[in-house]
Every structure is written in C-alpha cells, then in structure tokens.
C-alpha cells in the first residue's frame, strides 16, 4: 500500500485552509451560551471529589429518574468512563462482546486491558438477537452502542429488551454507550436499564463540549461505581473542576437548545444520505448520531488520497471493524458537505 499506517491522532484537531473534515465526530455548532457564563468570575483551584462535583451529579440525577447522585461518576469524557468501566469488570483473558462495526476505541480498549473482543456481526448495522444469544454465554460483559458510531444505526427496541433480559439472567455487566441518545431521528431513544447496566454518556455531543472532556458513567450497581471511583483516584483523580462547572451550566440551558440542534442534524443527515444514494454508494440510512458509513473499496487508500491530494478528511472503515467502508461524520454545514462530496465523487470517478 502506498500510504503510512493510519491513526486517528493524525487527524483529530487538524484544521486548515481548504480542509473539509468528515473526520472527528464533533459538533461544529457551539455549546449553549450558559456554558461560558461561569468563566469570568471563576476562582476555584483545588481538587474536587474524585466521584465528581455533587452539584453536577445532582443535576444528572434529576435528568435520569430512578438514579441518585451517588450512582454517578464524572469522567474525562465518555472515553475515560468506558476505560474505567472495562478496567473494573473483568480479568485478563476474559471476553467482551462488541457488535460490529464498533466505535474505533472499543477494540483497542478491550485489548489493552488484556481482554479478548468477541465480535458480533450485524445485518445492515442491526443486531440479530439469535446471533447475540449464541455468543453471550461465553463473554464476561457486553458493550452496546445505540445510536451507533460509526453506522448511525439504532438497535430495535425488542432486541434491546431481550439483551437486557439475557444479560440480567446471566448476571453479567451490560455497558450501554449512549453518547448519541439525544441525537436520534426515527424514534425516542430507548435507554438500556437493569441491575447490572452501566451507562456511559458525555456532554460532548449533546452540548458540543468535546474539547472540555466531561463525560460520566452511572449504574445502580454500586460495587462497580465504587470500584470505578477507587480506580480513578489513582489514574486521574477528579475531572477538571472548571469543565465540570461548565457542564453543570449546560444542564441549565433551555431544552430548545437540543431541539434546535437536532433539527439541523436531521437536515444534514437527509442531505448526505440522499447525495450518497445519488452517487450510487451502497449505504445504510443513519437513524441517529452524525455518521454515515458507505461502502468504498480500498478504503485506507481512499482515505489517504482524499487527505493528501484533496484535503478531505475521512476515517477508514478498518478502524471500526468495517473494511471497505469509510466513515463520514456529517458534523459540518451543508455547503461543506456538498463541496466535500463533490471532491469524493470526482476522485472515485478518476480512480
């Protein structure tokens, strides 16, 4: 192959003249103004509780009825929430179930924690419960991500309910990555719940706060929550206190903030999906999140060429367990989506 090994750290945060990035998955629209309102008078500087600001956890407990603020841990983004969770739920050599395509950090996170990923194929991004049922008795925990990064697909509610039941029967942790729960186009989000469900979420997507790295995990399984706190005491201590204060202020923004963003996301989703269909790409319709994963042959070469020659950033499907597909984030305005897709169409015609 005529390209170097590709890694997301090559692209994250890359900006510049003429670059159109369908790369990193982050909102281009700014956070609610409430997020910045606390800055001018801020003066704290000491450690906060490792579990997270009580004020912020109480605000979250109001949002998620049935949970107390003691069920939450505030983390450095959903990434750390997932890493902490994985580190406390299994032993080296045990298996963790991931559905494929998966968020690109899942497999390395599972592997660097010395577990073995059990990869469940899906059909057009949807889990077939019969397949799941066969694989689950062999694993120590399950990770579900609906809406999914990178497919934009959601899992069917009856499937999710069956997954809740069987993992509960088997008494294994069910990790639910719901960072896109507020960005869903086809129905209300269904939040997985149960005795041993650990939910991972963040302020990054809903409130456009990616750079501030404020995420959280919550669970009624207090043992897992406590183990995560103990671990975090050693690995990073409290999440940045000012980031937490800003996140708290995000929770005070009017609900219309989320609704108005969702409208924009849906327009972009409709646009990029219909354009790709017109271009003749084989593609699944995104039902949530802001990703679309068309089939494109020699995808790593495509990604490298588009970046080097045409200043378009995309991510190769290989990172997500989906070779010969390419992930496009549509977190950019429609004019740029259009221009970027024109460059893609041109390139594909020529090669």
Residues that bind a second copy (CB under 8 A): 7-9, 12-13, 24, 26, 30-31, 35-36, 39-40, 42-51, 76-77, 79-80, 83, 87, 92, 105, 108-109, 112, 114, 208-213, 229-231, 233-243, 246
> Are 328 and 314 within 8 A, CB to CB?
yes
Residue with tokens 């107390």: 68
Closest by CA to 347, choosing from 322, 323, 317, 312, is 312
Closest by CA to 144, choosing from 163, 171, 158, is 163
Q: Closest CB to a second copy among 86 and 293?
A: 86
DSSP, collapsed to helix, strand or coil, labels residue 244 as helix
Beta strand 174-177 pairing with 141-145: parallel
Q: Closest CB to a second copy among 30 and 137?
A: 30
Q: How far apart are CA 231 and CA 168, in angstroms?
A: 25
**Could you tell me the smallest distance in angstroms from the CB atom of residue 261 to a second copy?**
13
**Could you tell me the smallest distance in angstroms from the CB atom of residue 283 to a second copy?**
26
**Torsion over CA: 69, 70, 74, 75 (sign):** negative
> Are 236 and 80 within 8 A, CB to CB?
yes
**Could you tell me the smallest distance in angstroms from the CB atom of residue 116 to a second copy?**
14
> Are 96 and 72 within 8 A, CB to CB?
no
Query: 75: part of which helix (H) or strand (E)?
Result: strand 72-75
Q: Which two tokens stand for residue 78?
A: 């959903």
Beta strand 95-100 pairing with 326-329: unpaired
Q: Closest CB to a second copy among 87 and 285?
A: 87
Q: Closest CB to a second copy among 240 and 301?
A: 240
Q: Which two tokens stand for residue 238?
A: 């409290």
**Could you tell me the smallest distance in angstroms from the CB atom of residue 244 to a second copy?**
9
**What letter would DSSP give residue 118?**
E
**Could you tell me the smallest distance in angstroms from the CB atom of residue 130 to a second copy?**
31
**Could you tell me the smallest distance in angstroms from the CB atom of residue 34 to a second copy?**
13
Q: Closest CB to a second copy among 42 and 280?
A: 42
Q: Closest CB to a second copy among 246 and 344?
A: 246
**Could you tell me the smallest distance in angstroms from the CB atom of residue 140 to a second copy?**
16
Q: Closest CB to a second copy among 233 and 297?
A: 233
């Amino acid at each position: 192959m005529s390209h170097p090994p590709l890694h997301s750290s090559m692209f994250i945060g890359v900006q510049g003249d003429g670059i159109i990035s369908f790369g990193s998955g982050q909102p281009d629209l700014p956070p609610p103004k409430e997020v910045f309102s606390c800055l001018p008078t801020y003066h704290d500087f000491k450690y906060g509780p490792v579990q997270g600001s009580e004020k912020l956890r109480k605000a979250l407990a109001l949002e998620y009825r049935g949970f107390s603020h003691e069920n939450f841990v505030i983390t450095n983004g959903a990434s750390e929430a997932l890493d902490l969770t994985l580190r406390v739920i299994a032993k080296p050599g045990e298996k963790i179930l991931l559905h494929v395509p998966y968020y690109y950090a899942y497999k390395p996170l599972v592997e660097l924690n010395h577990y073995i990923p059990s990869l469940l194929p899906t059909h057009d991004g949807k889990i077939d419960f019969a397949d799941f049922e066969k694989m689950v008795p062999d694993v120590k925990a399950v990770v579900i991500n609906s809406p999914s990064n990178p497919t934009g697909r959601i899992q069917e509610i009856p499937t999710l309910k069956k997954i809740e039941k069987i993992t509960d029967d088997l008494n294994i942790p069910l990790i639910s990555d719901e960072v896109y729960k507020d960005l869903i186009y086809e129905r209300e989000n269904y939040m997985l719940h149960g005795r041993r469900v650990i939910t991972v979420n963040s302020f990054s997507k809903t409130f456009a706060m990616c750079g501030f790295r404020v995420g959280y995990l919550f669970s009624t399984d207090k043992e897992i929550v406590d183990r995560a706190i103990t671990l975090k005491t050693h690995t990073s201590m409290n999440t940045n206190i000012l980031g937490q204060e800003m996140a708290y202020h995000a929770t005070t923004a009017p609900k219309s903030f989320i609704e108005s963003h969702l409208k924009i996301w849906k327009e972009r989703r409709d646009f990029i999906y219909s354009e790709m269909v017109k271009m003749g790409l084989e593609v699944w319709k995104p039902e949530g999140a802001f990703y679309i994963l068309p089939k494109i042959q020699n995808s790593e070469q495509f990604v490298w060429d588009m970046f080097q020659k045409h200043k378009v950033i995309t991510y190769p499907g290989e990172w997500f367990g989906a070779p010969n597909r390419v992930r496009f984030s549509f977190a950019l305005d429609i004019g740029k989506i259009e221009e970027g897709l024109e460059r893609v169409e041109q390139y594909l015609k020529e090669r």
